[in-house]
Amino acid sequence: MHRSGVHHDDLALDGAVVLHAAFTPTEVTRLRMGVEAAVERITRCARSEPEPVATSQSSQGHRLQTVHGTSIHWEPDTSRPTVRNLRPVTHLDARLTQLWDEPRLTRPAADLLGVPEVGPLTSKISFKRAGVGSEFIWHQDYTFLQRFLGTAAREAVTAMVLLDDADADNGALTLVPGSHLAGPRPDGEPPNAADAPPVTIEAAAGSVLLFPTLMLHSSGPNRSERDRRALLLLYQPAGRPNLDETHSRVAETGGGDQVTSTAGFGSGE
């Protein structure tokens, strides 16, 4: 799936948009510095802060920690502690915060949602470190978000900014075009015979992939000697509050299209 520029034809591409070389090499370098500063800042706090750190385990056996409101998802089975992803992250470094108002992200996000303007929902860094970055199972970002937003979780779009060249060897994202039209499905459920063939998004650093929360996607392990870092910003219609993960709507109300969550945006990508 290779498209260039921001055109309406791209916005009709089975629900997903790929913007190649949206950010310059200089901008990518600056963002890489921002994400590395963010992970250093939060992991330093996890090691040294006197405040107790909340620790839990995901359904896939991955260790999770929460430090000052940021969730750290650690890679399993590594010789030294390695971060798999962080959420939320943009508040940890000004270079990341500035992206929320970037027209190269907000305009296509608004077009995908069919609204005049968008605002922030939440953010995440996916690291996929060289040689140890683990796979992400088939999932929809909706699955995690509906626990807090109910059916409003449908009204959000993920903008994934690639900070390294991505290909099949280092765990590029694979999505199923048009799968968002079929509604929610449980995490871990692979594409079925009614789905379009999965497409692996191989693109250079600085490219952006945008897709709705109901789009089915996954990514393989990073078996290469290259990192595959990505910054993910989730947008929603402007004027709505940022995601509050301390308040689960599903726990109180049943939350509408409830589905089984083992990955989702919380521990997936």
The HSE-up count of residue 234 (CA atoms within 13 Å, CB side) is 26
Cis peptide before 88 (omega within 30 of 0): yes
**pLDDT surpasses 80 at 264:** no
**pLDDT surpasses 90 at 6:** no
CA 81, CA 14: separation in Å to the nearest integer?
38
CA 232, CA 210: separation in Å to the nearest integer?
9
Q: What is the pLDDT of residue 3?
A: 34
Tens-digit pLDDT profile for residues 168-191: 999 999 999 999 999 999 999 999
Set out the domains of the chain in order of their start, with CATH numbers. 8-38+85-267 (2.60.120.620)
Q: Band of the pLDDT at 2, cuts 50, 70, 90?
A: very low
HEC profile of 190-208:
CCCCCCCCCEECCECCCCE
Tens-digit pLDDT profile for residues 108-134: 999 999 999 999 999 999 999 999 989
Average pLDDT over residues 69-98: 89
CA 190, CA 127: separation in Å to the nearest integer?
23
CA 184, CA 180: separation in Å to the nearest integer?
8
Average pLDDT over residues 61-69: 79
Work out the mean pLDDT of the chain and round it to a whole number: 85
**pLDDT surpasses 60 at 253:** no
Q: Band of the pLDDT at 212, cuts 50, 70, 90?
A: very high
Average pLDDT over residues 243-268: 52
Q: Band of the pLDDT at 230, cuts 50, 70, 90?
A: very high
**pLDDT surpasses 70 at 11:** no
Q: What is the pLDDT of residue 10?
A: 43
Q: What is the pLDDT of residue 31?
A: 98
Encoded amino acid at 13, one letter: L
Q: Which two tokens stand for residue 104?
A: 């190269």
Question: 236-240: long-range contacts at Cβ-Cβ below 8 A with a sequence spacing of 24 or more?
Answer: 236/113, 236/118, 236/119, 236/120, 236/121, 236/152, 236/155, 236/156, 236/157, 237/113, 237/115, 237/117, 237/118, 237/119, 237/155, 238/115, 238/116, 238/117, 238/118, 238/119, 239/119, 240/119, 240/121, 240/152
CA 23, CA 80: separation in Å to the nearest integer?
32
Q: Band of the pLDDT at 261, cuts 50, 70, 90?
A: very low
Q: Band of the pLDDT at 149, cuts 50, 70, 90?
A: very high
**pLDDT surpasses 80 at 78:** no
Tens-digit pLDDT profile for residues 42-53: 888 887 765 545
